[in-house]
Structure 1
Amino acid sequence: MHTLADLRAGKLAGITRLNLSDALGEFPEEIFSLADSLEVLDLSGNRLTELPDDLHRLKRLKILFCSNNPFTRLPECLGQCEQLFFVGFKACEIVDVPANALPPALRSLVLTDNRIETLPDAIGDCAQLQKLMLAGNRLRQLPESLARCKRLELVRVAVNEIHELPRWLLEMPALAWLAFAGNPLNDIHTEEPIRQIPWPQLALQQVLGEGASGVIQQAQLRADDDASALDVAVKLYKGDVTSDGSPLNEMQACIAAGRHAHLIPVLGQIQDHPQGARGLVMALISPSFVTLARPPTLESCTRDTYAGTRLSVATVKRMAAGIAAACAHLHAHGINHGDLYGHNILWNEGGDSLLGDFGAAAFYPDEETGRRLERIEVRAFGVLLGELLDGCEANDVETAGLRELEQRCVQADVMQRPGFAEVERQF
């Protein structure tokens, strides 16, 4: 974090990234002194309601964060910033998205948790658009012009007012990650019974991790009639809207998924939390399991980043087979995971794998839509398979069959892709 005092004193000359959060009520003119170097500008957590009309003077600006500011309108000056490809206005008060506020190089647009009811048709002119984050708004429909965005891969429209997923959306050639829970759609899943675990039977221990949807802690579960205790993991959900949707939708999907060898086992649902928090009790995973990849960076946009681990072809096959089996299980239960990525997979050196993080999961609205949703997710699997093969130490001859499967999974014609049951049989 930087200070306005240092900026005014000239101490930040030549920096490429500026973070200013100091209850600013207006855009500091001194930022323009960085016009020759500034590429990333983060003004989140201030009191800004507008940006200067001549923002394009920041000629090297590529990434702009303005989250948690009381903007009611996406600033039109953004449309004149020629190199700007990432725009983030999360948790503002935006109602209006003007057509000319969309920069020509736009790849990622994050407008999560606002008050937007409509998007301009001009969004279809954003030919480079790959990621569109719109969860937690008031959209009743998406503009059909979005169908022209042939590179669009990730769409988050959870917790809106959408009554139907349009056919054109389900036919987009590059779409691989779609989150839509929390809309007034049909829902054909049936409730699964789950064990209720009273809060007093849990003794919380250290925090294992924290994400947008909640906190995971190690705990001991003690039954009333048993002196022994079981080591478990407890996830307590937050009530806030995340970039993927509602944490409570995530919990519902976890419960409905049931048991599978390549999913983290859910042991029960927390009952009688003193603050009324919602949560799940899950199996505690061995520390031999580690996260497969890191999430996408701002530059990689929709692609995970890997640490350079080299895998044998046998390990790739074992991991891919496990994840395909997990996805086949989910879709057989009418569940779309929505976030099938390496950073949501745990694995060990033996090639065992577990698919986690149901934050973007949603239930099929109907069977026909479900068939299309499955093949959209198959494209995400194809991308993952390609990434695993990129880290494989085997030669091209040994991986030829897997590369062919990858291409079938990512082909542009959605309904020509195989379903997960067929993918699973390839291993």
Structure 2
Amino acid sequence: MNTLAQLRAGHLTGITRLDLAAGLTEFPREIFDLADSLEILNLSGNALSQLPDDLHRLGKLRILFCSDNQFTELPECLGQCAQLTMVGFKANRITTVSGAALPPLLRWLILTDNRIDQLPTELGERPYLQKLMLAGNRLAALPPSLAQCHRLELIRIAANRLTELPQWLLTLPSLTWLAYAGNPLETEADASALAATPTIAWRQLALEQSLGEGASGVIYRAQWQALNTAPETVAVKLYKGEMTSDGSPLHEMNACITAGLHPNLIPIKGRIVDHPQQQAGLVMQLIEPSYRNLAGLPSLASCSRDVYADDTRFSADIALRLARGIASVGAHLHRQGITHGDLYGHNILWNDHGDCLLGDFGAASFHATDDTPQTRALQRLEVRAFGVLLGELLDRIDTGLSPEQRAALTELQQRCCQADVLARPAFSEIESLLKG
């Protein structure tokens, strides 16, 4: 984190990224002294409500973060920034987004947790738009012009006021990761599954060290001492309760419970009750330390693609076992009326034997279990996510794959990612092909 004193003293000359959180109520004009080099500007966590009209003077600016401020409208000066591709204004008070505020090269827009009830037609006139984060607003409709955004791969519209998913949305050729939970349009979670989940009293749990933290909550190692039983080492996830980029953490908890049992899911032991702050939480099986994340989160540069370590390589047997496991759990979730919404390598835990577990249901949504065109389309969007994953695995197979096997898997990968959504195979077919 940089300081205002460093900026004003001229000590930051030549930097390409500036991170400044200092209770700012006005944009420091000294930032313009960095115009020859500045590419990333992070002003999140201040008290700003305006940006200067001449912001375009930062001619190399590509990425701007202004989350957790006090903006009530998306500043129109952004539209004059010729090189700006990523804009983040999460958790402000924005009600108004005009077309003039959208830069021409816009690729990634984050407006999560605001008060927006309408988006401009011009949003669909940004041909490079790839990632669109709109969860936690007041949208009752999306601009039909978004049907032109053939590069759009990820959209988060959870926790809005949508009564239907527009048909054009489900035909977008590149759409891969969709989250829409918490809208009136969503099918309700299976009440019987939620009611049948055991409850675990908070007093029976003793938290130990933190195992990790995500947008929706914190996971701890813990001891569970149930009545008249020996202590059991478990994992406890406590949900934060606030809006995330994917949607509501409580929807995530419901999806985890409704998903049920599958060899490639982390078993749920129960739902926490009687927390002193009424915090929601789940008790889960503790995963062996031999499991680790398959990939890293997408970077600012990769946008919607996971980042793999340079030395990540698989044998054919391991890669195919991973692919079979994820296809199997994908089919299982779809039978339960759940789309995961975030089927990515970074949400998959794996070990050296090729065993894998799909986690992080923060973007999960419920859909009807009837076989309808809409249900099939929602499921085939997720199949494209599997196709992306399969391609990433194929790119990293070093040994054991014959030319014929590679050709067959490449053909399957291409079928999963083809532009015609309903022509993609279902997970049940993918399972059969991978077993053959």
Same fold at TM > 0.5: yes
Is 1:375 aligned to residue 380 of structure 2? Answer: yes
Aligned runs of 1:4-403 on 2, under 5 Å? Answer: 4-187=4-187, 189-191=189-191, 192=193, 193-226=196-229, 228-308=230-310, 309-365=312-368, 367=370, 368=372, 369-394=374-399, 397=403, 398-403=405-410
- 2:423 aligns with 416
- 1:425 aligns with 432
Letter in 1 for 2:267: P
* Superposition deviation, residue 215 in structure 1: 0.8
* Superposition deviation, residue 366 in structure 1: 6.5
For residues 35 and 294 of structure 1, the distance between their equivalents in structure 2, rounded to whole angstroms, comes to: 31
> What secondary structure does 1:426 align onto?
helix
Measured against aligned partners, the alpha-carbon deviations of 1:269-316 in whole angstroms (never above 9, x if no partner) come to 112112211111000000000000000001100000000311011111
For residues 130 and 326 of structure 2, the distance between their equivalents in structure 1, rounded to whole angstroms, comes to: 24
> What secondary structure does 2:397 align onto?
coil
For residues 157 and 186 of structure 2, the distance between their equivalents in structure 1, rounded to whole angstroms, comes to: 15
Letter in 2 for 1:374: Q
For residues 5 and 92 of structure 2, the distance between their equivalents in structure 1, rounded to whole angstroms, comes to: 26
Letter in 2 for 1:304: D
Moved more, 312-321 or 3-12: 3-12
Report if the CA contact (8 A) 2:187-2:366 is conserved: yes
Report if the CA contact (8 A) 2:189-2:255 is conserved: no
Letter in 2 for 1:97: V
RMSD (CA atoms): 1.1
Number of matched residues?
426
> What secondary structure does 1:59 align onto?
coil
For residues 23 and 288 of structure 1, the distance between their equivalents in structure 2, rounded to whole angstroms, comes to: 43
Measured against aligned partners, the alpha-carbon deviations of 1:119-163 in whole angstroms (never above 9, x if no partner) come to 000111110000000000000010010010000000000000001
For residues 238 and 140 of structure 1, the distance between their equivalents in structure 2, rounded to whole angstroms, comes to: 26
Letter in 1 for 2:228: D
For residues 189 and 285 of structure 1, the distance between their equivalents in structure 2, rounded to whole angstroms, comes to: 26
Moved more, 151-160 or 184-193: 184-193
Letter in 1 for 2:93: E
* Superposition deviation, residue 189 in structure 1: 4.3
Report if the CA contact (8 A) 2:15-2:37 is conserved: yes
Report if the CA contact (8 A) 1:73-1:94 is conserved: yes
Report if the CA contact (8 A) 1:186-1:366 is conserved: no
For residues 57 and 291 of structure 2, the distance between their equivalents in structure 1, rounded to whole angstroms, comes to: 48
Measured against aligned partners, the alpha-carbon deviations of 1:345-372 in whole angstroms (never above 9, x if no partner) come to 0000111110000000010056322211
* Superposition deviation, residue 401 in structure 1: 1.2
> What secondary structure does 2:64 align onto?
strand
* Superposition deviation, residue 229 in structure 1: 1.3
* Superposition deviation, residue 190 in structure 1: 2.2
Letter in 1 for 2:397: C
Report if the CA contact (8 A) 2:189-2:254 is conserved: no
TM-score, with normalisation over the residues of structure 2? 0.96
Moved more, 21-30 or 315-324: 21-30
For residues 138 and 117 of structure 1, the distance between their equivalents in structure 2, rounded to whole angstroms, comes to: 5
Report if the CA contact (8 A) 2:242-2:248 is conserved: yes
For residues 270 and 48 of structure 1, the distance between their equivalents in structure 2, rounded to whole angstroms, comes to: 39
Large movers: runs of 4+ above 4 Å: none
Report if the CA contact (8 A) 1:188-1:334 is conserved: no
Aligned in 2, Cα 1:186/1:46: closer, same or farther, shift over 3 Å?
closer
Letter in 1 for 2:323: A
Letter in 2 for 1:25: T
Letter in 2 for 1:42: N
Report if the CA contact (8 A) 1:236-1:278 is conserved: yes
For residues 189 and 421 of structure 1, the distance between their equivalents in structure 2, rounded to whole angstroms, comes to: 23
